[in-house]
Amino acid sequence: MKIYTEKTQIQKAIKLFKDKNLSIGYVPTMGALHEGHLSLVEEAFKGNDVVVVSIFVNPTQFDNKKDLKKYPRTLEADTRLLESLDKDILLYAPTVEDIYDNKTVAEHFSFDGLEFEMEGKFRTGHFDGVGTIVKKLFEIVLPDEAYFGKKDFQQLQIIKKLVEKYHIPVKVIGCEIFREANGLAMSSRNARLKEAYKMESPFIYETLKTAKIKFGTESASKVTTWVEKEFAKHELLKLQYFIIAAEDTLKPVKIKSKNNTYRAFIAVYADEIRLIDNIALN
């Protein structure tokens, strides 16, 4: 597997495939790869001739600089994990300078209000950073299809909006959440969980599954109150938010409609590690 560290290198390699009319699938990551990332790569290979994976810890999407510093950078281990798939992957692992040309600032975007819901209320400027890096990477890689996990469902909807508003010719595909055996949504952050919190973390998904059942017969506000009470009783896990929202607008539900598709979103602190998850409700 060849590793490209400069955009001019990866663009030259991709052009050779494009000239042969081969389709490009793309999986952008921030590294610290796990089985969930590999599942995205596998999906990309199902629909495309060539797959590009990028590893880049994007500074402009971190509202907390301590988080940026702590974020694991494990390129060697990531490379070995990708090589275990035994497929011809193009790996793009650029520097901040290569991506941002020494101007590490985020563009400002309007995502028609999607950016102000849920994560947007707690992470100032986060989605401007996401929009900035995804737009840059799409312009470099020029993929036919790009693959993202539904664990970051709000991010997925925002990237779809970015593509729509900027007329970027790429199909954005959301892939199902890949979970640990205990139900915890796979995340690079999970490796930092202390043992006691790791043992208790399945409570998050179990609560989501029960909330889904309750939503079949109860109002969104009743389900939300139940979830809040369940976490208030929990000794270790601290609920930051639980929201039931329409999938298209991400706005919290007031009155259920048969014509809408709903999803429950949750953010929980396990000590200093912040875990997010979600579940489709109908």
Hey, how many other C-beta atoms are within 10 angstroms of the C-beta on 36?
A: 21
Rounded to 5°, angle at Cα 170 from 166 and 172: 100
| 35 in a labelled binding site | yes
Give the active site residue among 37, 108, 126, 234.
Answer: 37
SS3 265: strand
| 186 in a labelled binding site | yes
| 125 in a labelled binding site | no
Question: How is residue 38 written in tokens?
Answer: 């590999």
| 63 in a labelled binding site | no
Do 237 and 201 touch, CB atoms closer than 8 A?
yes
Give, in order, the Cα–Cα distances in Å from 134 to each of 141, 218, 254: 10, 38, 32
Any catalytic annotation for residue 37? yes
| 126 in a labelled binding site | no
| 34 in a labelled binding site | yes
| 189 in a labelled binding site | yes
Do 90 and 3 touch, CB atoms closer than 8 A?
no
| 30 in a labelled binding site | yes
Alpha-carbon span 136 to 234, nearest angstrom? 42
| Residues annotated within a binding site for ATP | 30-37, 149-152, 186-189
| Residues annotated within a binding site for (R)-pantoate | 61, 155
| Residues annotated within a binding site | 30-37, 61, 149-152, 155, 186-189
Q: Which residues are catalytic?
A: 37
| Residues annotated within a binding site for beta-alanine | 61
